[in-house]
């Protein structure tokens, strides 16, 4: 099992903490998921009256590594500032770096993303960049100091799954030694299992669990899916073929007249 900046996850599911119907349902979803990482966004507007302190305490009680993110940031300055605030609040060098460039698709601004990744890496952050599946951008992020890549499966919250499986397979083949996480767009456990079958090291999702009719049950389903996909990849599955191949050998079979 691959490590992320020296940390090996107990479970390759990274689960977000937003949009749940209640804190109790959030806690139950995490318990049943066995998720290896909790992702959280920093709500900057709640600092004066410490309105978010109960939430931060609940996240700490989950007992898993916390991955703060810069969700909602649209510029290098905004993302870097948010990352510094998150490091102070959560006491971790980890940061999921988002710099959004397109309003409708929430596609990353890859130019700003690379620059922000460089600034944060130089300042001691361990950056998890939310990016596209573009190989050139991936190379630039690695050169900027990132040791993990997080390509999107599809637009955030869309539930479309793996929109460009060819590109994701190419990224896995091109960066065999880099920890890769499919982030965003996952809607079903089968999508998560497929990502792991392609050789990805983890899957990050939020909406598919938080907005499900039964978030805790869905969280458990996703946990089983990522573990099944991981095991399938490790087992070296057969290659698909166009022609049938009999599972029962015909050599030596008796011929009846």
Detail the residues annotated as belonging to a binding site: 157, 184-185, 206-207
Distances (CA, A) of 180 to 1, 24, 27, 133, 152: 12, 31, 27, 11, 11
Establish whether 253 is a catalytic residue: no
φ, ψ for residue 43, nearest 5 deg: -90, 95
* CB contact set of 11 (below 8 Å; sequence gap of 6+): 33, 34, 35, 36, 223, 226, 227
Strand partners, 16: 39
Distance between CA atoms of 185 and 251, rounded to whole angstroms?
Answer: 48
- Among 77, 96, 211, 253, the active-site one is 96
Retrieve residue 109's tokens.
């601004």
Q: What stretches of 39-109 show up as alpha helix (H) in DSSP? A: 53-61, 76-90
Q: What are the residues facing 128 on neighbouring strands?
A: 96
Q: Binding site membership for 1-deoxy-D-xylulose 5-phosphate: which residues? A: 157, 184-185, 206-207
**Are residues 135 and 170 in contact, defined by beta-carbon separation less than 8 angstroms?**
yes
DSSP H or E stretch at residue 181: strand 181-183
Structure tokens at 100: 């959004």
Which residues are part of the catalytic machinery?
96
């Amino acid at each position: 099992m691959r490590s992320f900046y020296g940390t090996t996850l107990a479970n390759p599911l990274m689960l977000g903490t937003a949009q749940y119907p209640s804190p109790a349902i959030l806690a139950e979803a995490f318990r049943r998921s066995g998720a290896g990482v909790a992702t959280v966004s920093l709500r900057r507007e709640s600092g004066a009256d410490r309105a978010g302190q109960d939430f931060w305490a609940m996240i700490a009680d989950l007992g898993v590594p916390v991955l703060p993110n810069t969700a909602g940031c649209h510029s290098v300055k905004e993302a870097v500032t948010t990352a510094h605030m998150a490091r102070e609040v959560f006491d971790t060098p980890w940061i999921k770096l988002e710099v959004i460039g397109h309003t409708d698709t929430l596609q990353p601004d890859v130019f700003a993303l690379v620059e922000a990744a460089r600034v944060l890496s130089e300042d001691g952050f361990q950056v998890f960049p939310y990016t596209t599946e573009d190989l050139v951008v991936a190379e630039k992020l690695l050169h900027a100091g990132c040791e993990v890549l997080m390509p999107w499966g599809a637009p955030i919250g869309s539930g479309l799954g793996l929109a460009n499986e060819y590109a994701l397979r190419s990224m896995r083949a091109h960066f065999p030694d880099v920890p890769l996480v499919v982030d965003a767009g996952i809607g079903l456990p089968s999508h998560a299992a497929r990502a792991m079958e392609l050789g990805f090291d983890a899957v990050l999702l939020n909406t598919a669990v938080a907005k499900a009719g039964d978030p805790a049950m869905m969280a458990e389903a996703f946990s089983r899916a990522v573990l099944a996909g991981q095991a399938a990849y490790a087992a070296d599955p057969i290659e698909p073929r166009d022609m049938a191949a009999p599972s029962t050998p015909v050599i030596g079979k008796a011929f009846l007249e």
